Amino acid sequence: MGPPELQIFNSMSKKKEVFNPRVEGEVGMYVCGVTPYDFSHIGHARAYVAFDVLHRYLIHLGYRVKYVRNFTDIDDKIIKRANESGEDPLSLSARFSQAFLEDMAELHCAPPTHEPRVSDHIDQIKDMITKIIKNECGYIIDEDVYFSVDKFPDYGRLSGRKLEDNRAGGGGRVSVDLRKRNPADFALWKSAKPGEPWWESPWGPGRPGWHIECSAMSSHYLGCVFDIHGGGKDLTFPHHENELAQSCAACPESRISYWMHNGFVNKDNQKMSKSDNNFFTIRDIIAKYHPLALRFFLMRTHYRADVNYSDRQLDTASDRVFYIYQTLHDCEVALSKFREGSLVDKVPADIQELIENFHAGFLTSMSDDLHTTAVLDDLMEPLKAINSNLKKFKGKKQQQPLIHALIALEKEVQDVLSTLGLLSSTPSEVLQQLRAKALERAGLTEEQVQQQIEERTLARKNKEYEKSDQIREALYAKGIALMDEPKGTIWRPCEPPEIQSEEVPNSDTNKCLPVVATTT
């Protein structure tokens, strides 16, 4: 039996629909990219992780995906920032475009097939504007060109807004131009102004309007008819509404089968945004947390829902990622001597059933509009099974069934992590990086933690249990958990105590401390 039919929520129909690509086995997908005038923030991470998951899952299902994500490297905000800093606008946008690509690589977002920049597609933009004017949906005032929304009866179909409800200017990026025939008309071409980049055109020197850029680039790479158009839900109006109108005006047969929109990232119940100056950049966050922890955190909420940002939730995500990689590391070490010639077709029946059930659940959840939250919850089952089998593995003479079980479980976990974009380099490297981030958050060095461990060991030797507990609890409050093992005390990152609620006896004086997720 094959995987269940993929269903995705279509913002146009306002309901989930079975995904049927225009061409069998192929998918054309366009996602609106960044306006690179500053470092990218967590809201950008939210959008591009969501569509990276879609991209990866489509490939997992066997589709050949042509994924296009643009750079709006000509924009009012870029020009304003460049004038403030005395930098060339295209130089500034190129610098922040490169920073964005570096951030995406950190977050394990696979590169799109094409990453076009507006400045490289001026000819395509001018050609599309020419078609819109020829089809009597655009008009020229002096050297500016506007789209006439009155010429497009379906305007507002995507956003559900009525024409009389629309804000003058077509969105917050531009001021009202009283020369327009309708206050809702929006700019296709803006005449040149002092201190701005410009290009020659049939209407005079100038630069593109905001919305026309994506219409021109999507049609250039994917044609007038393609499968998926994505972006943040704040782009539904005016950007995507205007894209839809002008694309149809230039190419009457234009059609996008599925419109997809991701939710916001909120802080204190308010959307994070650069304009409100209440945002964190991706670089701010991954300076303290592993990029995989940020990706895990974002995927813990369904892509269409808003995410509430907090350090506590990132601590939780970091702890879960540590658990995943500690489990994979322990499995790798245990199997290092037994991989040669091992036959995974002899997997014990109970483990084979667990794997099949987990994989079926993975496909069901992902095919239900990318329900990553359920997948990440279900992932704990095969991980627990790995740890359970690792405990049996120690000192057991009849090891072959356990070896087969561990190899099969490890492969299934790695395959799913890869599809989710959560599979990184060797487990030991990820664990080392997670430990380094934990030390950074705690404001400690490895040497300082080891010194505290030695002081606690001495205190315990001298039966100074109160002092021993104080050391342990002080480290725990900073996200450093001490674990006593036969070979001595080690430490690992953990969630700070205020996050956890389950308690177990776990202290030198048998007081209760919050439980720490551990492996073997």
The CATH number covering residue 353 comes to 1.10.730
* Residue 411 sits in the same domain as residue 448: no
pLDDT at residue 510, rounded to an integer: 34
Q: How does residue 425 score in pLDDT terms, banded at 50, 70 and 90?
A: confident
Q: What is the rounded CA–CA span in Å between residue 33 and residue 117? A: 10
Q: Which of 369, 392, 425 is the endpoint of a domain?
A: 425
Domain count, the chain: 3
In eight-state DSSP terms, residue 516 is -
| Per-residue burial over 433-454, b = 16 or more CB atoms within 10 Å of its CB, e = otherwise | bbbebbbebbebeeeebeebbe
User: Per-residue pLDDT tens for 57-112?
Assistant: 999 999 999 999 999 999 999 999 999 999 999 999 999 999 999 999 999 999 99
Is residue 257 within 8 Å of 228, Cβ to Cβ? yes
Torsion of CA 345, 346, 347, 348, to 10 degrees: 150
What average pLDDT is seen over the chain? 91
* Residue 157 sits in the same domain as residue 253: yes
pLDDT of 169 > 50? The answer is: no
Cα angle at 68 between 90 and 174, to 5 degrees? Answer: 50
Query: Does residue 302 fall inside a structural domain?
Result: no
* Residue 94 sits in the same domain as residue 215: yes
List the domain range (segments joined by +) for residue 382: 315-425
Q: What is the rounded CA–CA span in Å between residue 8 and residue 18? A: 7
Q: Which two tokens stand for residue 440?
A: 């950074």
Tokens 């803006």 label which residue?
190
pLDDT at residue 29, rounded to an integer: 98
Helices (H) and strands (E) in the chain, counts: 16, 17
In eight-state DSSP terms, residue 70 is -
Is residue 261 within 8 Å of 159, Cβ to Cβ? no
Query: Does residue 293 fall inside a structural domain?
Result: no
* Residue 420 sits in the same domain as residue 461: no
Query: Does residue 263 fall inside a structural domain?
Result: yes
Helices 241-250 and 210-222 pack at an angle, to 10 degrees, of 60
Average pLDDT over residues 18-32: 98
Instruction: Report DSSP letters for 374-401, one per residue.
Output: HHHHHTHHHHHHHHHHHHHHTT-S--HH
Tokens 């627990």 label which residue?
384
Q: What is the rounded CA–CA span in Å between residue 75 and residue 62? A: 38
Please tell me whether residue 520 adopts helix, strand or coil conformation.
Answer: coil
Mean pLDDT lowest for which of 176-190, 199-213, 443-457? Answer: 176-190
Least Cα distance to 508 among 455, 454, 471 occurs for: 471
* Residue 261 sits in the same domain as residue 403: no
User: Per-residue pLDDT tens for 444-461?
Assistant: 999 999 999 999 999 999
pLDDT of 219 > 70? The answer is: yes
Name the residue type at position 217: M
Please give the span between the terminal C-alpha atoms of the chain, in angstroms, as a whole number.
Answer: 36
Q: What is the rounded CA–CA span in Å between residue 126 and residue 222? A: 18
Q: Which of 425, 457, 481 is the endpoint of a domain?
A: 425
* Residue 170 sits in the same domain as residue 43: yes
* Residue 141 sits in the same domain as residue 80: yes
Is residue 236 within 8 Å of 159, Cβ to Cβ? yes
Q: Which of 390, 425, 460 is the endpoint of a domain?
A: 425
Tokens 């995705």 label which residue?
8
Average pLDDT over residues 417-422: 98
Instruction: Report DSSP letters for 236-299, one per residue.
Output: IIIIIHHHHHHHHHH-TT-EEEEEEEE--EEETTEE--TTTT---BHHHHHTTS-HHHHHHHHH
Q: Which two tokens stand for residue 42?
A: 């967590």
What count of other Cβ atoms lies within 10 Å of the Cβ of residue 110? 14
pLDDT at residue 387, rounded to an integer: 96
Q: Helix/strand/coil (H, E, C) string of 325-369?
A: HHHHHHHHHHHCCCCCCCCHHHCCHHHHHHHHHHHHHHHHHHHEC
* Residue 451 sits in the same domain as residue 419: no
* Residue 69 sits in the same domain as residue 140: yes
Q: Which two tokens stand for residue 477?
A: 């409050």
